[in-house]
Amino acid sequence: MKILLAEDDAALAAEIVKALRAENFALDHARNGEDAQHLGETERYDAVVLDLGLPRRDGVAVLQAWRAAGHTLPVLILTARDGWSDKVAGFKAGADDYLVKPFRVEELVIRLRALIRRAAANGASRIACGPLSYDAGLGSFERDGLPLRLTGLEWRVLTCLILRKEGVVPRDQLIERVYDGDAEVDSNSVEVIITRLRRKIAPARIEGVRGLGYQLLPGDPA
């Protein structure tokens, strides 16, 4: 499952990122409203955690723009404002749930999973690529209808690729998302993971695009 976190408080964001990645969520982090709006419009997410008090553009304006553009992704708003009018403004803009700061990150994880399950029940949260199928609500993969056994790192790589199936995922971006931005990681280790995945997902395939990155394709080349 892939989450967009829009939060400018560095300490809180770091705590949320750590908790979500420990639960095997893939995650992008925007530190201001302009970046959050752009990511929400150009990337595919299973849910968004959106702070209302963002710099450059506040969370209500960001959410209104998404809904006006037809984006239906589930949104949980975070706010330090506990007044009823602020909650009403968030829901009128199109929020699905909210948490008032301070909160326990364990509750955030539970609420996110509940949002994603509801979205899965109401719409298409399953992504298919050849024999592969990814259930965004459960965060699980199948090949030819059977559960696909993956290590944690394999799951992260394959999730990044299937969320942009047939599109190229830049190598640096893949390394950052899989290894949480660890600069000490040997980049060859990504190729080792991809080699293992290629055996597990055939006839779907992962192609390297010289100088760019990798892409997931549905079947054997013609």
- Kindly tell me if the per-residue pLDDT of 183 is higher than 70: no
For the cut 60, the answer to whether the pLDDT of residue 164 exceeds it is yes
Q: What is the pLDDT of residue 76?
A: 94
Predicted pLDDT at 186: 63
How would you write 39-62 as a 3-class SS string? HHHHCCCCEEEEECCCCCCCHHHH
2-122: CATH number: 3.40.50.2300
Residues 125-138 have pLDDT tens digits of 678 888 998 876 66
pLDDT value, residue 190: 86
Angle between helices 59-68 and 33-42 (to 10 degrees): 20
Give CA torsion, residues 60, 180, 157, 22, to 10 deg.
-80
Q: Using the 8-state DSSP alphabet, how is residue 3 labeled?
A: E
* CATH level 3 topology of 126-217: Arc Repressor Mutant, subunit A (1.10.10)
Question: What tens digit of pLDDT does each residue of 21-68 get?
Answer: 988 888 999 999 999 999 998 888 989 999 998 999 999 999 999 988
pTM higher than 0.75 for the full model? no
Q: Which residue has the higher pLDDT, 201 or 220?
A: 201
| pLDDT of 135 | 78
pLDDT at 207: 94
Mean pLDDT of the chain: 85
* CA distance linking residue 64 with residue 141, whole number of Å: 33
> What percentage of the chain exceeds 70 in pLDDT?
89
The domains of the chain are located at: 2-122, 126-217
How far is residue 89's CA from residue 100's CA, in Å, rounded to a whole number? Answer: 14
What gap in Å lies between CA 197 and CA 152, rounded to an integer?
12
The pLDDT-based confidence of 169 (bands split at 50, 70, 90) is confident
